[in-house]
Chain A
């Protein structure tokens, strides 16, 4: 097959929030940049974020970045790197104000400032009371943000390759990244994008689970590509189950509903979060709320004929508040739950939502790997930001509204790093290896010719059911051990997927098969990392690591205060230390403590 070659200063894969924010940095600095995206930019999954973006603007309640940092470290169950967290929370006001200047239609306070609402795990004065930190555009913050970022990129003349799917990372013999291969969906042609810098902003892989708030496109493409190219994946055992997915449909209901006063109730109408989190109640951290809900359901206090969900109640809020602050939620609830939340509560269950782990990076957006005894050596030419990356700011559990902040801060930071490296002459166009496209062409060719193999949708469903059963909200040692074997079997099945559609033009069967290759890497990484981590921390809670005096909440800092690194080859595991030291001397390290809300 003939493979066209295109050359750029930088190639960005993904045009969600992180990709678009990075692209702005590069386009405005005049770098020749290609942004590859498998969907039109405004269809990226950032569009579905609802509740807000965190920044300690203090527009309605007193606030400062120290409190935000404390909340984020505590939320991460101390697995987050404190240098990256300090960097993120101190940049928050700047990147949010920038967005406002780009035209983002934030809601407003009476004095014209950006409207802020309370959110789970965000507090004032180190955990004392909820704080209003989430900057919101009604309950459509992600939509407003993604469109504002796309619009700003239109102004900056960013060059997009729309409906191009990146296939594989290209590394030379030194391990430097020199670009990616990609397929144009409309023609089926494979091209090489040769670049001095490659930035991955490909989002998460929530579709590894059966029940997910994530879009169909969230198939972990960048994470899978990195893993296949020998880059380890960090902390993949940590997945966030959002407390309020619509029961049955999985569609997200923002935590902003509880920020506006919504209450979770069990079958007897009890506000059960008062028992689990006496202080922050319904606004406790997401992992805590999800586990409390599942406990209620498991102990027979669930709602509905099958007692399989709980209720999110906002009937006590005024219809005006609901229509003004939560109009999108009302639409979703009517559409997918058949309930008007003005009149009746919404049935909800914890649903897979966010990937805390990912491609290991530092706070500058450089991808880092262990080399010669140093755990964090930058891979030349390779950068990552947003959900596909692990900086790590979310550690073992992300706080709501910190994801939109993450993609803004680290999208910008990765962009700035590339621009600096470019200007200082540190970035050069390294020669392509002779076999640069071979792996991708072989994958395409296998799908062309595979006979007697497995069906993509069957393998995908097997994977999703395995993940759901064996690596869910609560984890059990025997299920994890069994899950590892099962997911390895599923991975074998994925090697022989076959497709009926052989067309060159917009072949979505082929796209789904290629996406499955990426999902499978993520599923293996998750199951194997989870089985190995013999403690409970944040979103990873197992039956054989209970709450004891020695290990509060089952967390074992002596043995497990460390990041997991999973390598695809041989499913090998390695570990590296957590950075407990902030970036500057302006703040003391947040000392280890038991997490309560």
Chain B
């Protein structure tokens, strides 16, 4: 792929100088080696160093560069720049307060993650060696533990937009089920108690936006369904 120019429309807001946000029209000429949207943004930043976004690993595992790309949440580093309809419209993740440009305040998102006690609870004295777990039991954690906390899912969820303080959201609930599903964890009952609430779990209306946008191909809706199943099972 030779040199080509990409047109952007980017949400800009610097509270230090802007009264209100605006959409900036800007284009950039790419080098042949620029393959991903993140490459284009890094290139763009050599033109306008005030453009602000988070980024780190550039390979889809750290979860820093989540943003709204042409109306859909995704990771800039895993999005091919060629083939994106232009102008490429970039906005910060929806539903969270904007700090600056494409950088959002993720406090509420992490608060919900922390609220599910995202750590293994096992009160037996620690054995000298590893706790045993069969390959099949370990298999249950696949599709759950790989979450990178990018917030693409929760910030695409209408229920999270309406009640970010009360609804745990898909990322937090996926993490909750990751521990419920772990045969080494002993706190399933407490975890279910913690979620048995009209908002925390039950605001999920299986809209499935989370599944649609997850850059790791995970399925929070299925995990939420499993939590609901466990609640029903323990009630009867």
Q: Is the CB of A140 within 8 A of B131?
A: no
Q: Please name the residue on chain B nearest to A42 by beta carbon.
A: B149
Contact of A47 among B14, B62, B100 (CB under 8 A): B62
- Is the pair A102, B120 in contact by a Cβ cutoff of 8 Å? yes
Q: Does A126 contact B (CB under 8 A)?
A: no
Cβ of B56 and Cβ of A215 under 8 Å apart? yes
Residues of A13-62 whose CB lies within 8 A of B: 39-40, 42-45, 47-48, 57
Question: Whole-angstrom distance between the alpha carbons of A137 and B141 in the complex?
Answer: 11
Q: Is A344 an interface residue (CB 8 A)?
A: no
B138–A251 contact, CB under 8 A?
Answer: no
- In the bound complex, residues from chain A placing their C-beta under 8 Å from that of B46 are 455, 457
Tell me the smallest distance from the CB of A327 to a CB of chain B, in Å. 9
Q: Which partner residue on chain A sits nearest B107 by CB separation? A: A162
CA distance A114 to B127 in the complex (A): 14
Q: Is the CB of B58 within 8 A of A216?
A: yes
- Whether A500 and B49, one on each chain, are in contact in the complex, defined by CB atoms closer than 8 angstroms, is yes
Report whether B50 and A144 are in contact in the complex, using a CB–CB cutoff of 8 Å.
no
Q: How many A-B pairs with Cβ below 8 Å? A: 154
Chain B interface SS verdict (over half): loop
Residues in B whose Cβ lies below 8 Å from that of A251: 58-59
Query: Among residues 125 to 162 in chain B, which have CB atoms less than 8 Å away from a CB atom of chain A?
Result: 126, 128-135, 137-138, 141, 145-146, 148-149
- Selecting from A273-281, A416-424, A501-509, the interface stretch reads A501-509
Of A113, A215, A509, which is within 8 A of B50 by CB? A509
Which residues of chain B are near A508, meaning CB under 8 Å?
45, 49, 52-53
Mark A72-109 against chain B: 1 for CB-CB distance below 8 A, else 0.
00000000000000000000000001001111011111
B64 engages A39 (CB within 8 Å): yes
Known A-B contacts A39-B56, A505-B100, A508-B52; the reply to A151 vs B120 at CB < 8 A is yes
Cβ of A260 to closest chain B Cβ, rounded Å: 16
Number of interface residues of B (CB under 8 A): 57
A147 at the interface (CB under 8 A from B): yes
Q: Quick one: closest A residue to B184, CB to CB?
A: A103
**A310 on interface, CB distance cutoff 8 Å:** no
Give A45's nearest chain B residue, CB to CB.
Answer: B57
Interface pair A39/B60, CB less than 8 Å apart: no
Is B185 located at the chain interface by the 8 A CB criterion? yes
Given the interface contacts A48-B61, A48-B62, A151-B118, does A108 sit within 8 Å of B106 by beta carbon? Answer: no
Interface residues of B (CB under 8 A from A): 14-17, 33, 35, 45-46, 48-50, 52-64, 78, 99-101, 103, 106, 110, 114, 117-120, 122, 126, 128-135, 137-138, 141, 145-146, 148-149, 179, 182, 184-185
Shortest 7 CB-CB distances between A and B: which pairs?
A103-B120, A112-B132, A509-B49, A501-B50, A151-B119, A43-B62, A503-B16
